[in-house]
Structure 1
Amino acid sequence: MTPIISLSHVTYAYPNSDVPALRDLSLTINKGEWVAIIGHNGSGKSTFAKLLNYLLAPTEGEIKVNDVVATEENMWTIRDMVGMVFQNPDNQFVGATVADDVAFGMENRGVPRDEMIKRVDAALAEVQMAPFADREPARLSGGQKQRVAIASVLALQPKILILDEATAMLDPTGRREMIALVHELKARMGDDLTVISITHDIDEAASADRVMVINDGELMETGVPEEIFANADQLRRFGLAVPFAEQLKEQLRVRGISVPNEYLTTEGLVTWLWQSISTK
């Protein structure tokens, strides 16, 4: 696998803070991966995201994005490669229409108009928002706004898409639709798109190829979702929610029922329960 992001002994401390937000962080994210970064509020997740886009510069250590060292000199090269979608899409909207908003970033980068029109159309089609091109962003639902925010990033053709709590303000249906959209994008774009989810949402994290747990600025665990979410006690120690299926398995064990040791999604547990009932 080819690394696209690498951090080597990265520390970041906010001005006037005695405690670093991130401490001696070293990790690698590979090209084409979908990695979820989870941790309690204040653990350093969003700081990590801002460092990758050079919205913040590390106090110590080195960050490389696609072999480019993140420095002030390389700032715009880094930002061309890393696109970010934030929690509140309203903070990213500047255009009078959806199409205008998707075009805004390209206008700032001097993309020729003919090319810009093609990219706007393609990006809106990617997120199933083409019929809303002439709509005012303010009149869209929360889920639709996030789709437009993603289209605005995709139009810039980044190598890396960072979702910084992008599903946090959505209702359950909106969150499911957003996760499904990312799955669709990854299926179509393959290794051409690396996704990093900064999230509290267990379902979003469980959809990733790999999960990293950050606790009080330090990388505590990394592994596939099945490994990370199977350890309920450890999740609680890190101040994280335990997936519903794991909570239910704990309650079944208390009642003397033998359940699978491996991690199961809610759908997987329902299937196992039905199979267990049908064999009795």
Structure 2
Amino acid sequence: MTKSSWYQLSPEPQRNQYRLTPVSPSGVGFLDQASALASNGSKLFVSSVQGHLAALDLNPDTLAFTPGAEVNASLAYQTLSPFWLGGQLHLLAYTRDGGILDFFRVSATDLQHLYRYQRTYGDTTIGFTTVHAFGYRDRCLFMGYNSNTGTSRIYGIQVPPQAPLSISLLWQSEWAKGWQDFCFFQLGGENFFFKHNPAYQAVNIDHYMDDPAQGSHPVGTGLPLPQETSAAATLTLQEGPGFAGYRADNGLLTVNRFHSDCQGWQQQAQLQAGRDYSHLLAIPCGGGKSLLALYG
């Protein structure tokens, strides 16, 4: 049984203040057998250890999850990343050991498998510890990073005339090993990400370049995140993007809003949530509200 704690994040009347309230959503049994979770708006995607891939819908008013589309993918994915392509929601699902990247088109009743991308030698796709799909201007991209080797890559997702999808490598580099707690967000239509490296005592915010072939570069360095932070999740707050951070050693859960210059953040809320959870999930509920789950 996976232990979990759920919290409703709500804005207070005062600026830059939020409230974390313990809640008990219904329909959360999916956590018991989940190998990966991801959200897009109020839609939650779940991969189970038995190989099933499902979409659930959250009612923000009743905090109830209801089942939606489901498919037997025969794989327990470690990473899920929703993205938009051609005005329609898609899902990227990834297995680390096999380096398999599966792409699904999402509808209210179906998860349609479109394409599989896998490289097991040369430009290998095996071992990514972070995979994230995102759109920029008129392009759709995804990144992969391996914290054990430092390998970092950006791929392009195209829709060719005679196939559902195709993938091309646009950029590759070798970063330091050990980056974790990636939080991807947008400011002014630009793509940024926050990352944390305990081995090097480093906390950065990076910006993706206008040309994906140029990769990314740091715009904020040496930021004041406790090195003991063990999980993080991106948030959509009333006044811009932010993140929730959790420390398993002391149970502290904090909510923070990124500064618009990407040189840090301002704390909005904190709560003692209990120790020794391993994962943090955030699901936006609209109006600056979110549903947060600590589990594992």
Tell me the TM-score normalized by structure 1: 0.30
Larger radius of gyration: 1
For CA contacts below 8 A with separation 6 or more, give which structure has more relative contact order.
1
TM-score (norm 2): 0.29
**Greater helix share, 1 or 2?**
1
